[in-house]
Amino acid sequence: MKARDWLGVLPFVGMLGGIPFVNQVEPYVLGMPFVLFWIVLWVVLTSVIMAIVNRLDPATREEENNG
């Protein structure tokens, strides 16, 4: 596994591993209970992480050129 593949583990760590530590209602962030905000935050971070993975992956560009 390359370093960029390990990036794919991060969303799991944040969204699943983090929950026992943030399972609380307060403080409200953006109007949401904290645990819900945490999950939403990680959904957004997942997109960011996958954008980085796409950027780093040479396969993406190769297949682009091949059509």
Partner 1 sequence: MNIALIIIFAVLLLAIYSGIRAQKGKDMNMEQWSVGGRGFGSIFIFLLVAGEIYTTFTFLGGSGWAYSKGAPSYYVLSYIALAYVISYWLLPPIWRYAKQHRLVSQSDFFVSKYNSPILGILVAAVGVIAIIPYLVLQFKGLGIIVSEASYGSITPAAAVWIGVIGVTIYVMISGIHGSAWTAAIKDILIFFVVVFMGLYLPYHYYGGIQPMFEAVESANPGFLKFPDEGLSVSWYISTVLITVFGFYMWPHTFGSVFSAKNANVFRKNTVMLPLYTIMLLFVFFVGFTAILQVPGLKGADGDLSLLRLSLQTFDPWIVGVIGAAGLLTALVPGSMLLMTAATLLAKNVYKVMAPDASEMRIARVAKLLVPVISLISLYFTLSGGDTLVTLLLMGYSLVTQLFPALLFSLRPQPWVNKYGAFAGILAGVLMVAYVTVSKVTIATVFPDWPAAIKDLNVGVVALLVNILVMFGVTLVTRIIFVPSRQTATSEGSSTI
32 DSSP β-pair partners: 29
- Could you say which of 3, 54, 56, 58 contacts partner 1 (CB under 8 A)? 54
- Does 66 participate in binding partner 1 (rule CB under 8 A)? yes
Minimum CB–partner distance for residue 23 and partner 1 (Å) = 5
- CA-angle at 26, arms to 18 and 36, nearest 5°: 50
Peptide bond into 27 cis (omega under 30): yes
Q: Can you tell me which residue has the tokens 């645990």?
A: 35
Site for partner 1 in 3-42 (CB under 8 A): 5, 8, 11-12, 15-16, 19-20, 23-25, 28, 31-33, 35-36, 39-40, 42
